[in-house]
Structure 1
């Protein structure tokens, strides 16, 4: 029998209700992930050396007996979403099997103290000071110039970081954790840096990416260029130096300029300004170097639907800075308007592409 709501079948309406509830409670995904990191659960399992039973886990965490069931609910949900894996432990005869939890490749990336750890990225993204901004979508939409962070924090995001050392450190640690993933990607991207004598990593933070490049190409001179408060008091060596400044004013000259996950923070107008400064830096003294962009390229026609969903989700997320994730067509438009002649896109990571731009 048809419903009175636009002649929809009850089954259609019930499915729609379930979909609405899924989105309505989607914040539980990120909050349960945050909880697991706050409780140090990935490290507890890692240090245990094998799947850990619920009883052992709650014992280590010193969980009150009244909350053990809640821990199990959270772990079951995280396991359902692929963060952990549930293993059945065979117990003694006449006793029930007890659930045990093992790490997956996802939670391995949350083990603190390991080479590839993205826990700082999660902690930064889910910090209430930043994440609460998304409650201001409606107000932000009607603001002509303010970013979503600006609406919530009361100041420009970068000014906020300059004035709040705690959050500046948190943000830089998050970016550094992500940069370590580049070490894996460079195994297939050596060709991009071959033949270069110098490179400037614009917005390079504490130099994590630059150090990886320097280790791989010891003859390459690397300059990390970022806000003065980011690069002050950082240790240099023979082929790695730090320079403070403003990328909208000028960029140190080099054979190549690297922009890793920088341009997605900015509007098209600002990106063109940045790219023009990059072009000036790589075309001085008659040289014609290149700009290397590591960023997302949305390609709904060719990529997996789930991957596109993640990119579109991050496209909404980066609106907090009035930035955007871009399609190849949108990238090409920026490059042309900034005065570049050609570009080449290569795969980098699952989410990011490597774009070489030539003057």
Structure 2
């Protein structure tokens, strides 16, 4: 095939590049179809149905106008192609007319979207894709020229945490999202008991409504656990058993304990702010002559050793967290933070597919 006039590229190369360009140009539709499925409560409908549900049954339950049935089918087909549902054909469905229809079953991904289930990440999706927050990513150009403002700051007109304090609806949405993500830690902690053994007290900094802390308290009933977060987060929460709530500012102080937990906290902040936070944590675990530790649950980017798709997700999260001027970090970057904050050593252990558990020692 003849070469084109564009840098002597073959037409086949150009067409492939065009396909890749279009894939990214329309990538936002991936998020919007996911959002649609949750808004329509489709994962719950299929779950409650107890078996694969036919298209005709699904649109009947959803009371879809006949003119839009084809659109429901194309959305479901695309979601199935991306692994959110499985298309089942020629099954024994509810009546003869349905037997030749395609039907939809949940996959392991959409099982995580069933509201009311033990592990449900629907609140995380709803928060991330809420227009108030997601519209911020249209402002990259303006943000990149603003020396101090975060991407959220450019879009919302105020600091993100101030915005949450002043808007109870979004504060609740954000806390519910973080709580849903924290439930995933329950699975991870089954293999991480060694991290908490021998501790008498722990402070969960930025612990929200205490989802992670409750998991830890249940597994270690003798461990005194304190959830430390913004006043607006913990003001209506009451202590129970070995769990208490304390409000405050982690940039000012952190309550004293044998260990301090920072789950998905440091990635929200610049390196300068991370060092400030870590120094306060170091003070908390080295008071009264003790030498405790800080436990960080966060991402560690490792392009050389991990699967390409996993690295892609982490790099995508690295762009996403720029909304707060935060950062996902490599081990080298983490080590630099720890040293500058005055710590002597650290140990990295696997936690979840995305997250690592890092123990830092003063």
Give the C-alpha shift of residue 91 in structure 1. Answer: 6.7
Give the C-alpha shift of residue 95 in structure 1. Answer: 8.0
Cα distance in 2 between the residues matched to 1:200 and 1:142: 38
Give the C-alpha shift of residue 89 in structure 1. Answer: 2.6
Q: 2:261 matched to which residue of 1?
A: 258
- Residue segments in structure 1 that go unaligned for 5+ positions in a row: none
Once the two structures are superposed, residues 279-329 of structure 1 have per-residue CA deviations (whole angstroms, 9 ceiling, x without a partner) of: 000000000000000000000000000000000000000000000000000
Number of equivalences? 358
Give the C-alpha shift of residue 237 in structure 1. Answer: 1.3
Is the Cα–Cα contact under 8 Å of residues 54 and 93 in structure 2 kept in the other structure? no
TM-score calculated relative to the size of structure 1: 0.98
Q: Helix, strand or coil: the match of 1:223?
A: strand
Cα distance in 2 between the residues matched to 1:153 and 1:144: 16
Going from structure 1 to structure 2, the CA distance change for 1:93 and 1:146 (only over 3 Å counts) comes to closer
Cα distance in 2 between the residues matched to 1:94 and 1:16: 47
Going from structure 1 to structure 2, the CA distance change for 1:92 and 1:232 (only over 3 Å counts) comes to closer
Q: 1:48 matched to which residue of 2?
A: 49
- Residue segments in structure 2 that go unaligned for 5+ positions in a row: none
Is the Cα–Cα contact under 8 Å of residues 347 and 359 in structure 2 kept in the other structure? yes
Once the two structures are superposed, residues 114-147 of structure 1 have per-residue CA deviations (whole angstroms, 9 ceiling, x without a partner) of: 0100000000000000000000000000000000
Give the C-alpha shift of residue 238 in structure 1. Answer: 2.5
Runs of 4+ off more than 6 Å: 91-97
Once the two structures are superposed, residues 54-76 of structure 1 have per-residue CA deviations (whole angstroms, 9 ceiling, x without a partner) of: 00000000000000000000000
| Corresponding residue to 1:340 among 335, 339, 343 | 343
Q: 1:227 matched to which residue of 2?
A: 230
Cα distance in 2 between the residues matched to 1:342 and 1:261: 20
Once the two structures are superposed, residues 240-275 of structure 1 have per-residue CA deviations (whole angstroms, 9 ceiling, x without a partner) of: 000000000000000000000000000000000000
Once the two structures are superposed, residues 200-250 of structure 1 have per-residue CA deviations (whole angstroms, 9 ceiling, x without a partner) of: 000000000000000000000000000011000102113100000000000
Going from structure 1 to structure 2, the CA distance change for 1:252 and 1:64 (only over 3 Å counts) comes to same
Cα distance in 2 between the residues matched to 1:91 and 1:147: 54
Cα distance in 1 between the residues matched to 2:208 and 2:314: 23
Cα distance in 2 between the residues matched to 1:103 and 1:92: 16
TM-score calculated relative to the size of structure 2: 0.97
Q: Helix, strand or coil: the match of 2:213?
A: helix
Q: Helix, strand or coil: the match of 1:100?
A: strand
Cα distance in 1 between the residues matched to 2:202 and 2:91: 57
Cα distance in 2 between the residues matched to 1:343 and 1:200: 19
Cα distance in 1 between the residues matched to 2:119 and 2:350: 20
Q: Does 1:358 align with 2:361?
A: yes
